[in-house]
Chain A
């Protein structure tokens, strides 16, 4: 046998053993920092063989984009189970893209849940059960997103909004608004936090809400909803008359910038500035 034909495979094998730890270290380091995703063969069952080959061929991101586009077709047809399955796949393929988690949570917790709630072909009890079931699926989607992107203020804000407007749980809403703020959400969410704290039953929360709203008031943010809550808090906290704000409590609420007309609070939906309008 020719020498070269023997040496070449030996060289490749020797290099193969030497490079493994180098590749592994670099790969682990990037996975730890959320810079890449390991190949998950479990995806094959859900994706189908063709799509799995696309993933193996290096087309993970474009496949995620195309599946996302497909999910919009299911959304238009109100095939909610397929919407959920597709978003689960999309987020498995690219868990670092927070927008997919946001949109998945929004579809499930708002569009699917409302679709079932207003489906008059079902009995009221069934509608309410399905509404809460899909609401919980939306929450689960966003919580999964936070496991991958714990610093995402947008996911926290979306969760807070669901707890505020859909679950009516001010304690969890306040928690997620607080987390959103800790991760860089804009000051609007501080006011949102205060509105939820007002709804809690303890004096400490009221004091915190009062401090936040007064701070915003001094900065010139004198929204009707803020004035309303400040007047409530002045009473609850026995604020001396000379320290109270001069405004009267506004009777009917008018919408503030970025707020809906009924509650004076931001509209539901993904928290981004460029959020889509729910259909």
Chain B
């Protein structure tokens, strides 16, 4: 089956695409998302993911550290770093190729010739990429959680055995060793870090999809996507300049103002991973606020992309 076949949103036994109302729209978006996911999976994304994850995990063990806590932190940093790398790569590259490829193999015309509004097409594509990012992050989260838990337990046992052999082990020390090592091992904070990365990936995907509705080439979309990611991580500086009046020259104001207004603050989402890195993790309230901010970004970028895509000549 060709990629274009896989993108065809018709499925025997499924509700007809002509269904009006919210149910029909949701179904069409879901079918589009699933076909996008299939389309991306066929690009051997998972093979690359598994190989790269294994290599990165091996790197974390290859480095000599002084203490168990440092070893666990290094594993956690490699885990969160590779999750962030994958989520960003997929959000930029996978999204950037979707529209040009659908135009190239004429799948887009097949889909839009049916009663599928253009905004549903965009939402379906976005959801497909986010599903792919979510599946990858879930796999990596489970993989690294297993490694962290295994290392944490083996390091605790090794430390306790060493103290016992030296005749220094008492209940208080055993508890302290267990707490110190476990705090740097597998905690819920690690999963909250992965969730923050997923939110960032979802926002980045919607920003790149918006870019691809105006872009004329895949390369432009990828480069612009990378720029959005980098500037988004420094957006906080521009925002502080803008809100706190720290700019002194007109040129600074001219740069800081658009950056603060147009770009999303990715460092906010990254704070979940940073907190996980030091072994704490964000409280639930902060995660909920981050989710709200992410949803707002996605909504606005989706509406803007739909406004542009609705009038784009294909």
* Chain A residues in the interface with B (C-beta under 8 A): 2-5, 7-9, 11-13, 15-17, 19-24, 26-27, 29-30, 35-39, 41, 53, 55-62, 64-65, 68-69, 72, 94, 96-97, 99, 103, 186-188, 257-258, 272-276
Residues of chain A within 8 A of B267, CB atoms compared: 27, 36, 39, 58
Cβ of B80 within 8 Å of any chain A Cβ, yes or no, is: yes
Other-chain residue from B167, B172, B237, B289 in contact with A39 (beta carbon distance below 8 A): B237
**9 A-B pairs whose Cβ atoms sit less than 8 Å apart in the complex:** A4-B308, A15-B296, A26-B268, A30-B268, A58-B88, A58-B200, A62-B78, A62-B81, A64-B77
Cβ of B314 within 8 Å of any chain A Cβ, yes or no, is: no
Q: Cβ of B236 and Cβ of A37 under 8 Å apart?
A: no
Write out, one digit per residue, whether chain B residues 54-66 have a CB within 8 A of any chain A CB (1) or not (0).
0000000001111
Q: How far is the CA of A194 from the CA of B245 in the complex (A)?
A: 53
Q: How far is the CA of A57 from the CA of B235 in the complex (A)?
A: 11
Closest CB-CB distance, A70 to chain B, in whole Å?
10
Q: Cβ of B77 and Cβ of A36 under 8 Å apart?
A: no
Contact size class for B?
35 or more
Task: Tell me whether chain A's interface is mostly helix, strand or loop, or mixed.
Answer: helix
Task: Tell me whether chain B's interface is mostly helix, strand or loop, or mixed.
Answer: helix
Q: How far is the CA of A273 from the CA of B184 in the complex (A)?
A: 14
Closest CB-CB distance, B310 to chain A, in whole Å?
6
Query: What is the chain A residue whose CB lies nearest that of B70?
Result: A99
Other-chain residue from B159, B230, B280, B304 in contact with A273 (beta carbon distance below 8 A): B159
Other-chain residue from A23, A187, A274 in contact with B69 (beta carbon distance below 8 A): A274
Other-chain residue from B63, B230, B274 in contact with A36 (beta carbon distance below 8 A): B274
Q: How far is the CA of A257 from the CA of B137 in the complex (A)?
A: 46
Q: Cβ of A56 and Cβ of B304 under 8 Å apart?
A: no
Q: How far is the CA of A22 from the CA of B297 in the complex (A)?
A: 12
Residues of chain B within 8 A of A187, CB atoms compared: 172
Query: What is the chain B residue whose CB lies nearest that of A103?
Result: B66
Residues of chain B within 8 A of A62, CB atoms compared: 77-78, 80-81
Residues of chain B within 8 A of A15, CB atoms compared: 296, 300
Q: Cβ of B286 and Cβ of A30 under 8 Å apart?
A: yes
Residues of chain B within 8 A of A26, CB atoms compared: 268, 286, 289-290, 293
Q: Cβ of A12 and Cβ of B262 under 8 Å apart?
A: yes
